[in-house]
Structure formats: structure tokens, C-alpha cells
């Protein structure tokens, strides 16, 4: 099975869906990564890991290491520039035109003979305009391929008692809730690669929980997927991705969540 993870920024692959991708790699899938930007507009760390000018280069290397930690096969950057965060934490998309982005994704879907595309959800997780743009581009690419299209799943689907509901796409009901505990160390190792983002990871979690945390402690053992295209009929998934995850006993029900 050939899988493409298409994401907007370095670290999205790890924080939003790293366990799922590591698990699929362990189960024998070839997992390829395409990242729209090099995360140039983000934070440099506290204390700074590098200068703002060096950030794109440093984050590219961080993601290269993270993809290795997750067992990925390849990583390609589309070389869009991530706009710097604006006043009052305002966020911006990395391109004006989702059609151009869609065209680029189509190339990789066909070239790599992708069976399953995994990308951002309908609400851009927490509404990030770059994530929303990536989602729109993914949707239009898949629709343009018609019957030849791979399956399209989005990550951070919503489910009851989600410990990080602020990252969940409220419009995307979880079709698969996954226990990624068996590959949790790989996800943690990938998160540790994103050194420039550690201060942000920790700050986000500490401000929400009021507790001191370390990077490994911000990494969750539960992830979720929503099948965007084709739409799920009667709540039943009988596609190859759902099968491989069910056979690996990775799928859990909301009742089994002990968080
Ligand atoms: Zn992002």
C-alpha cells in the first residue's frame, strides 16, 4: 500500500498524525511525505535554535529526521514560503490559489501510485488558513481524478472525550479511532526532532492544562481519521486502509477510551 501524507508545515506530520503514519509503515506500507512549506514563518525556539533567516533550512532538516523516525520512504517540499505569524498571532495561507497546489499534489499521487492520501481536515484543525488551503487542494485533486482517485482520509477527526478537542476538526466525525501506543516511542522520537518547536509544544500544553510538561508528555497515544472521499455510507468502512488497521488491532471504539 502506498500512502501520501500531504501537510502544510513541518511538525504537522508528527503532531497531527505521526502515530498513524508510523504504524502504517510498520505494517508494510510505503509512506511518502509532501510538505507545502518549510515552516519559515514559525518560531525559532526558546532559547533560539537558529535565526529567523535560517529557520526554513533548519525545519527542513528537522522534518527529514522526523520522517526517518516515523519510517517514511520519501519527503518532498513544494517550496511554498510559510508567511510569518502576524500581530496577535494572526495566521496566513502559504498560497493564494488552491488550484495550483492541487495540480502539484496530483503529480505526486500519480507518480508514486498512491492508494491513500492522508491530509488536513475540513476545519483546518484549529482553523489555520494554511491547513484549510491544504485541505481544499487535497479535496479538489481527489475529485479531479474521479474513479482513479486514491482514498482520501483526513486526520484529527472529532470523537467524544478527545483530550485535545481544540485540534480536532469539528465537522469531521471520526471513522477510525486509533490506539497508536505500539509506535508511541517513534512518534515521540519524531517530536523530539522538531527542536525549534519544542517551546511552542510545551507552551500550548501548559497553558491548557496548567501543568508542567516535557515534549514526550505532549505526544498523544490516540489518533483519529475521517474518510473524506469517498464518503462513508451507513458508518461502514470496508476499504483497504480500514482493513489493515483493524487487522493490526489498532482500531478502538469510543467506549474503550480510558483517558
Ligand atoms: Zn501546520
SS3 readout for 82-127: CCCCCHHHCCCCCCCCHHHHHHHHHHHHHHCCCCEEEECCCCHHHH
CB atoms within 10 A of CB 221: 16
- Mean pLDDT to the nearest integer, 115-133: 97
Instruction: Quote the ligand 1 centre to 80 CA distance (angstroms).
Output: 13
Kindly tell me if the per-residue pLDDT of 209 is higher than 80: yes
> What pLDDT is recorded for position 31?
99
Instruction: Quote the ligand 1 centre to 44 CA distance (angstroms).
Output: 15
> What pLDDT is recorded for position 234?
84
> What pLDDT is recorded for position 89?
86
- Mean pLDDT to the nearest integer, 171-193: 97
Rounded Cα gap, residues 178 and 187, in angstroms: 14
Instruction: Quote the ligand 1 centre to 256 CA distance (angstroms).
Output: 29
pLDDT band of residue 249 (cuts 50, 70, 90) is very high
Instruction: Quote the ligand 1 centre to 50 CA distance (angstroms).
Output: 19
Kindly tell me if the per-residue pLDDT of 259 is higher than 60: no
Instruction: Quote the ligand 1 centre to 52 CA distance (angstroms).
Output: 17
Instruction: Quote the ligand 1 centre to 236 CA distance (angstroms).
Output: 30
Determine contact, residues 60/77, Cβ cutoff 8 Å: yes
- Per cent of the chain over pLDDT 70 is 99
Instruction: Quote the ligand 1 centre to 200 CA distance (angstroms).
Output: 12
- Mean pLDDT to the nearest integer, 224-241: 93
* Mean pLDDT of the residues in the chain: 96
> What pLDDT is recorded for position 150?
98
Instruction: Quote the ligand 1 centre to 66 CA distance (angstroms).
Output: 15
> What pLDDT is recorded for position 254?
77
Kindly tell me if the per-residue pLDDT of 37 is higher than 80: yes
Instruction: Give the fold, CATH level 3, of 2-256.
Output: Rossmann fold (3.40.50)
Kindly tell me if the per-residue pLDDT of 258 is higher than 70: no
- Mean pLDDT to the nearest integer, 103-113: 98
Instruction: Quote the ligand 1 centre to 218 CA distance (angstroms).
Output: 16
Instruction: Quote the ligand 1 centre to 238 CA distance (angstroms).
Output: 30
- How much is the pTM? 0.97
> What pLDDT is recorded for position 236?
83
Instruction: Quote the ligand 1 centre to 16 CA distance (angstroms).
Output: 9
Instruction: Quote the ligand 1 centre to 233 CA distance (angstroms).
Output: 30
HSE of 108, CA atoms in CB hemisphere, 13 A: 24
Q: Which protein residues have their CB within 5 A of the ion that is ligand 1?
A: 8-9, 12
pLDDT band of residue 44 (cuts 50, 70, 90) is very high
- Mean pLDDT to the nearest integer, 24-35: 98
Instruction: Quote the ligand 1 centre to 42 CA distance (angstroms).
Output: 9
Instruction: Quote the ligand 1 centre to 241 CA distance (angstroms).
Output: 24
User: CA torsion, points 256, 135, 127, 196, in degrees to nearest 10?
Assistant: 90
Rounded Cα gap, residues 216 and 27, in angstroms: 24
150-177 pLDDT, tens digit per residue, is 999 999 999 998 888 999 999 999 999 9
137-151 pLDDT, tens digit per residue, is 999 999 999 999 999
Kindly tell me if the per-residue pLDDT of 53 is higher than 60: yes
Instruction: Quote the ligand 1 centre to 9 CA distance (angstroms).
Output: 4
Instruction: Quote the ligand 1 centre to 29 CA distance (angstroms).
Output: 24
Please confirm whether the linkage preceding 48 is cis (ω < 30° from 0): no
Instruction: Quote the ligand 1 centre to 36 CA distance (angstroms).
Output: 10
Instruction: Quote the ligand 1 centre to 130 CA distance (angstroms).
Output: 7
Amino acid at each position: 500500500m502506498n500512502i501520501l501524507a500531504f501537510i502544510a508545515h513541518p511538525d504537522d506530520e508528527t503532531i497531527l498524525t505521526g502515530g498513524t503514519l508510523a504504524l502504517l509503515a510498520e505494517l508494510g506500507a510505503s509512506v511518502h511525505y509532501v510538505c507545502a512549506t518549510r515552516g519559515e514563518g514559525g518560531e525559532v525556539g526558546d532559547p533560539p535554535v537558529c535565526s529567523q533567516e535560517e529557520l526554513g533550512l533548519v525545519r527542513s532538516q528537522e522534518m527529514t529526521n522526523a520522517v526517518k523516525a516515523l519510517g517514511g520512504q520519501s519527503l518532498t517540499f513544494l517550496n511554498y514560503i510559510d508567511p510569518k505569524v502576524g500581530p496577535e498571532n494572526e495566521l496566513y495561507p502559504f498560497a493564494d490559489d488552491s488550484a495550483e497546489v492541487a495540480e502539484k499534489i496530483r503529480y505526486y499521487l500519480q507518480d508514486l501510485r498512491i492508494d491513500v492520501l492522508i491530509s488536513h481536515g475540513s476545519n483546518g484543525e484549529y482553523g489555520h488558513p494554511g491547513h484549510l488551503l491544504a485541505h481544499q487542494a487535497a479535496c479538489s485533486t481527489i475529485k479531479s481524478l474521479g474513479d482513479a482517485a486514491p482514498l482520501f482520509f483526513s486526520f484529527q477527526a472529532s470523537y467524544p472525550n478527545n483530550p485535545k478537542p481544540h485540534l480536532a476538526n469539528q465537522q469531521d466525525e471520526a471513522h477510525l479511532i486509533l490506539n497508536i501506543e505500539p509506535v508511541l516511542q517513534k512518534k515521540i522520537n519524531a517530536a523530539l526532532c522538531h527542536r525549534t518547536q519544542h517551546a511552542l509544544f510545551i507552551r500550548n500544553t501548559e497553558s491548557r492544562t496548567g501543568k508542567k510538561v516535557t515534549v514526550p508528555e505532549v505526544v498523544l497515544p490516540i489518533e483519529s481519521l475521517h474518510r473524506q472521499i469517498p464518503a462513508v455510507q451507513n458508518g461502514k468502512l470496508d476499504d483497504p486502509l480500514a482493513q489493515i488497521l483493524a487487522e493490526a488491532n489498532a482500531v478502538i471504539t469510543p467506549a474503550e477510551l480510558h483517558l
